[in-house]
Amino acid sequence: MSKTEQVRKVAFLGLGVMGYPMAGHLVKAGHDVTVYNRTQAKAQKWAEQYGARWAATPAQAAKDCDIVFACVGEDKDLREVVLGENGALAGMKPGAVFVDHTTDSADIAREMGKLFAERGMAFLDAPVSGGQAGAENGVLTVMVGGDEKVFEDAADVIAAYACSVTRVGDAGCGQLAKMVNQICIAGVVQGLSEAVAFGLNAGLDMKLVLPVLEKGAAGSWQMKARGATMVDNEFDFGFAVDWMRKDLGIALAEAKRNGSVLPLTAVVDQFYGDVQRLGGSRFDTSSLITRLPRPTSKK
């Protein structure tokens, strides 16, 4: 999808490791951007860096905007920036679109979809995959739930920081697709952790072996992007274990509702709990390998 040339007035709520660069890409694409962040100093820093504006409340940021984006922590954080006299909903104009990039529950996506429709506005749940690097490089994968016409209008703007923007169904389906994504990642990272630990314990030079495996059936994004850092015992970057556990908790709760059985996901979630107890709450998800016996690091 090509980057849009149509200038839109937009707001971006939440300047974490994902939102900060995503909002920057909107400026670079030529859009008129105002940001809000709970910590005002960060919003001021962003505005100075990108030559754009910041606002003291979500309502002020959303005023007169065509599209309001959000990328916050979880369900309660989304409610906080949307609802109340200072929430985005209070400042948005009729016909405006709210795009939620938070990874949260399908229930809140459906709830927000109904709420915005009652106010003459639209809501898209649009969680992302690709991590901090994907956000910084503008190559995120975005899975979207919501009305098809609304999606078509917003997709070109989202493309400012994405390499793939796809509607996967109605409200809530974007979040469900993200749950599928996280279930896949959990299994792949655990398998990779066991494989790397096994290879190290067997005396293999895993930095030699992994590039070979990447070209075969075992190859994956996780192997290519995280294999070498797992060998080096480096985890101070990437997608935090705390956030992965939050995401897996959402998926496991949804599984109970829809009758799915996720034995591997449930076990890996507990393994991430072990990593948290070992002090790795902010480590990258590839830190699952820290649970496994390996030769003493040579670093």
At 6, list the tokens: 């149509």
Q: How far is CA 9 from CA 29, 30, 48, 82, 96, in A?
A: 12, 10, 18, 18, 10
Please classify residue 21 by burial: count the beta carbons closer than 10 Å to its beta carbon, then call 0-12 exposed, 13-18 middle and 19+ buried.
Answer: buried
Which segments within the chain are labelled E, that is strand? 9-13, 32-36, 53-54, 67-70, 97-100, 122-125, 128-129, 140-145, 162-169
Place of tokens 């599984």: 255
User: Residue 42 catalytic?
Assistant: no
Q: How far apart are CA 213 and CA 246, in angstroms?
A: 31
Round the CA-based radius of gyration of the chain to a whole number and report it.
Answer: 20
Which segments within 83-131 are labelled E, that is strand? 97-100, 122-125, 128-129
Q: Where are the alpha helices (DSSP H) in 141-234?
A: 148-158, 173-201, 206-214, 221-231
Q: How far apart are CA 280 and CA 277, in angstroms?
A: 7
Catalytic hit among 45, 63, 114, 178: 178
Instruction: Check: CB of residue 37 under 8 Å from CB of residue 11.
Output: no
**What single-letter DSSP state applies at residue 39?**
S
Q: Which residues pair with 169 in a beta bridge?
A: 145
Residues annotated as catalytic are: 178
